[in-house]
Amino acid sequence: MPKPVNSPKLQIIIITGLAGAGKSTALNAFEDMGYYAIDNLPVFLLKELQAKAGTEHLPNRKLALVMDCRDPAFLPSFTTVVMQTSSCLDKEILFLDCNEEVLLRRFSQLRRQHPMATEGKIREAVIREKSTLQPLLAQATRVIDTSRMTPHELARQLRTIYGKQESADRFVVNLMSFGFKHGPPTETDTIWDVRFLPNPYFVPELKPYTGLDERVAEYVLENETSRYFFALLEPLLEFLIPQYRKEGKAQLTIGIGCTGGKHRSVAVTEKLKQFLSRQNVKLFVDHRDIDKA
């Protein structure tokens, strides 16, 4: 089915360059900005992908593709294939360059094999790849030298260049309540233990309900300890979120735990939800253990 006339033009960013220069970091940054990201795309699939993406539903109509020397046909075919792609799209070739000595140090630290290395001779592979890619460097529409960049700095620069202000300012926060008796979640960045707060489990008229119930929430939250806790916690979050974003994180997942995951952790999570909903973040809440016995 043809795309509607008013559909935004398909945008393709082809990420290429030297092994070790930060292509994986760049791809992750583009994915965080809403691009559909594909690593190590064979060059022969580029035309077919462009044709499909032009007619099928694609979120945001934005693609970020890593194409490089891991594909044996990349260098012989890339220029011809790219020249044959449609002019009815925004197409950019982003080349990541890097100093030879920095690349050697990165491969040494990561203990990874260079894709062009033979018999483990990384220096020769770096020199050969750098020489081989010179014609492609000349075709690039944008070149970024990552020699003096950390991965976070590279991601930050890409967000500055390519990210829309709205998406750049929207940090994702995931809140997850849970019970320690069911095991702590593994996907969290940090865990806050709220078992120091008053426990409705020992109040017979509150025990059958959860932290979503107004009476349970009041019992957990309306006391001096809880008020002081939030007086410390809310400014801490206001400080932490910009710091995490500055270091290149796209999201923060916070686990909030009590004994069973039904009362205190749920009430605290809902209270934090109210606070964070007034901040410039995209918020998700999951009460993992609320229905468990």
Residue 62's Cβ-count burial label (10 Å; 0-12, 13-18, 19+) is buried
What 3-state class would DSSP assign to 19?
A: coil
Q: Which two tokens mark 170?
A: 């929207």
Rg (CA), the chain: 25
Residue 48 reports pLDDT greater than 50: yes
Least confidently predicted of 44-48, 52-56, 275-279: 52-56
Provide the β-strand partners of residue 62: 11
Could you tell me if 76 and 37 are in contact, meaning their C-beta atoms sit under 8 angstroms apart? no
Could you tell me if 117 and 213 are in contact, meaning their C-beta atoms sit under 8 angstroms apart? no
What does the pLDDT look like over 186-197, one tens digit per residue? 888 899 999 999
Measure the CA–CA gap between 27 and 64, rounded to whole angstroms: 7
Could you tell me if 244 and 238 are in contact, meaning their C-beta atoms sit under 8 angstroms apart? no
Q: What is the pLDDT of residue 113?
A: 72
Q: Map out the domains of the chain with their CATH numbers.
A: 10-168 (3.40.50.300), 170-287 (no CATH)
The chain-wide mean pLDDT, for the chain, equals 85
Confidence of residue 81 (pLDDT cuts 50, 70, 90): confident
Measure the CA–CA gap between 175 and 192, rounded to whole angstroms: 11
What does the pLDDT look like over 104-122, one tens digit per residue? 888 877 666 777 776 657 7
Least confidently predicted of 20-34, 83-97, 185-199, 263-277: 83-97
pTM comes to 0.59
Complete DSSP assignment for 80-111: HHHHHS-SSEEEEEEEEE--HHHHHHHHHHHT
Provide the β-strand partners of residue 10: 89
Pairwise pLDDT comparison (166 vs 292), residue with the higher score = 292
Could you tell me if 287 and 266 are in contact, meaning their C-beta atoms sit under 8 angstroms apart? yes
Rounded mean pLDDT, 37-53: 85
Residue 291 reports pLDDT greater than 60: yes
Could you tell me if 61 and 13 are in contact, meaning their C-beta atoms sit under 8 angstroms apart? no
Could you tell me if 71 and 44 are in contact, meaning their C-beta atoms sit under 8 angstroms apart? no
Reported residue count of the chain is 293
Q: Which two tokens mark 119?
A: 């018999």
Confidence of residue 4 (pLDDT cuts 50, 70, 90): very low
Pairwise pLDDT comparison (34 vs 147), residue with the higher score = 147
Q: Choose from 5-9, 30-34, 53-57, 172-176 the range with maximum mean pLDDT.
A: 172-176
Confidence of residue 2 (pLDDT cuts 50, 70, 90): very low
Measure the CA–CA gap between 182 and 260, rounded to whole angstroms: 7
Could you tell me if 15 and 94 are in contact, meaning their C-beta atoms sit under 8 angstroms apart? yes
